[in-house]
Amino acid sequence: MLKRASGITTFIVVLGVLAFYFLTTPVSFDSGKLPRYAPDPANGELLFWVGGCASCHASSTSKLLLGGGKALATVYGTFYSPNISTDPQFGIGGWSMSDFANAMLNGVSPLGEHYYPAFPYSYYRNMYIEDVMDLKAFLDTLPPSSNKTKLNEPGVPYSFKRGIGLWKQRYSAPSSIQARPSELSPLQRGQYLVDGPGHCGACHTPRDEFGGAKSASYLAGARSLEIDPDSPDARAEWNPNITPHADGLARWSERDIAYFFEMGFKPDFDTVGGSMVEVQENLAHLPTADLQAISNYLKSLPAIQY
User: Pick the residue with more confidence: 33 or 146?
Assistant: 146
pLDDT at 235: 59
∠ Cα 207 212 216 (to 5°): 65
Q: Give the separation between CA 273 and CA 275, rounded to whole angstroms.
A: 7
Q: Give the separation between CA 216 and CA 205, rounded to whole angstroms.
A: 9
Arch. (CATH architecture) of 182-224+239-306: Orthogonal Bundle (1.10)
pLDDT at 37: 95
Lowest-pLDDT range, 30-39, 48-57, 168-177? Answer: 168-177
Assess whether pLDDT exceeds 80 at residue 219. yes
State pTM to two decimals: 0.91
Q: Give the separation between CA 52 and CA 55, rounded to whole angstroms.
A: 5
Lowest-pLDDT range, 32-41, 227-236, 260-269? Answer: 227-236
Of 177, 215, 230, 236, give the one whose Cα is nearest residue 301.
215
pLDDT at 155: 87
User: Pick the residue with more confidence: 176 or 268?
Assistant: 268
pLDDT at 194: 98
Mean pLDDT of the chain: 90
Measured between alpha carbons, how far apart are the two ends of the chain, in Å? 55
pLDDT at 5: 60
Assess whether pLDDT exceeds 80 at residue 216. yes
Ramachandran region, residue 78 (left: φ > 0; alpha: ψ -120 to 50; beta: rest): beta
pLDDT band at residue 25 under the 50/70/90 scheme: confident
81-121 residue pLDDT tens: 999 999 999 999 999 999 999 999 999 999 999 999 999 99
Residues facing residue 78 across a β-bridge: 73, 153
154-175 residue pLDDT tens: 988 888 888 899 999 899 877 7
Q: What percent of the chain has pLDDT over 70?
A: 90
How does DSSP assign the chain, residue by residue?
-HHHHHHHHHHHHHHHHHHHHHHHS-----GGGS------HHHHHHHHHHTTHHHHH--SS-TT------EEEETTEEEEPPP-SS-TTTSSTT--HHHHHHHHHH-B-TTS-BPPTTS-HHHHTTSBHHHHHHHHHHHTTSPP----PPPPEEPTTTT-GGGHHHHHHHH-PPPPPBPPPS---HHHHHHHHHHTTT-THHHHS-B-TTS-B-GGGTTS-EE-SBEETTEEEEES-EEPP-SSSTTTTTT--HHHHHHHHHH-B-TTSPBP-TTHHHHHHHHTTS-HHHHHHHHHHHHHS-----
Q: Give residue limits of the domains in the chain.
A: 30-180, 182-224+239-306
